[in-house]
Structure 1
């Protein structure tokens, strides 16, 4: 129906296949048929999750489907969370299997992968052609009650579910064997992959705020008017560094947001709503802080990969340390 301008529409029902569903219908051939399509703005869904989720499930229920397909959402975070929430509700309330498609870094994956078979997709909808056949194949298997293979065989993201199975050797012996290999420095695989958490120790508090230099960094996309560095509205491949010399207020005439993942109207009216330069200048005048750093740094968090985010953070942090900055205020959307 549209892009960001349609993100606030409530759930509505269409008979038959619409949009990506037409490609899915074709990929399933005579083995399956999409009987209806539920459409909802991802902003509306996330802001009204309980009510919208209930409405969506009620719309789905009357068709008694064998399988529900949500998405694909690729790396669109709000869309992925909405698809995952629908998957959870459908699997729990209707006991119907769900297939989706997402980029592995989509937040919907970690939140809801146990409730759906999520086919791994590319970062953007440019990967639609590759995603559709895998999703259709998996949907047919689930809808027809056929056995589903491993994540590697079927192309879906591991669901993190533990299941019982009979092994040739008892657990005590397998555990000792793994321990011996670890002690000897030999390679071995655990039977259940353990999650890896990126933990960052918090920095010490600022000792004397009245003498501190404070910097502003944002993933909310606030840039000078015209977006001189052409930072992408989604999946940003760069960040920008901009001067605050003589700037006390981010006016609509001189500043805007490049972000494509939220309604830009209020940010474009007053960019201080995302990047609070005006308030920090007041604190500077009142000697609450020492001074505001002469530059701010901006990128767009919408769909931007974790790897790129870490790369930008490391470069910005190095720059701030070299400039003697004492603390950073990091804002998003």
Structure 2
């Protein structure tokens, strides 16, 4: 038997057929409370925009709400999409979160916009925020701004101006870089930061990317050793048949996304079972199913342990993507709750 890794959670706050965003948010906050009770290491909220099936658009708001409802678990972003935001705003938001929940805040930073070009333009309507080409500079600015000494800026007249994130916390959030390619892995190694591979989105090249990060790592004061984990989509149920049924709505949604088809709110299990996809969609589903953790508890726990051992990590962040049946409550996600419960046993 492989040693069991620590488990964490990434939440995209899914919205399903017949459900309001308010109900989806309530379900996710109930889920983070349960994850806290079950002993999960951390719970992160994603940032996506203009997606009917996803209500995770404002990680700092969700983090604040989650921190208020929990006592132990680390809460954070997976991640803040930095091109959408001014570095000072991000630093101040997370300094405030750290002040509210000392020692429990993670700032995961991503480089993608998290939406389509039109919405990306709207996010930057008041002017350029965090230019993608300046991503390394802006990451370093955030790190400096959240430190007690802040950052020192040289103005055009030659004067020095001190800037600090406020309110000042007694500590700083842990900053992670996120990615599914070598760009963020190389930058994390260069800056001496922890790195997370987004395996739930794309598992391509994972071994090469993790090797680049570890081999090129430059120790920092905060992180003398490289630190990394990976994500994986998971659906666990008392039986394998139920797990595969609950996985189908999200599998179909991902197939639609990757073939450029219209996206709506997530289907119920019954809706997914009643409407077959064409051959191309089914081929994608079969491929994704082979890379997700879908099954009954013992097999799923072993699969996660084996995945962690193969990649040399001691933590795995699961994305609980279990769908719901039509008769289940709209303000709860029983399949996602059960996935976390069964993995934690």
- How does the TM-score come out when normalised to structure 2? 0.25
**Normalized against structure 1, the TM-score is what?**
0.25
Q: Which has the higher contact order (CA 8 A, sep 6+)?
A: 2
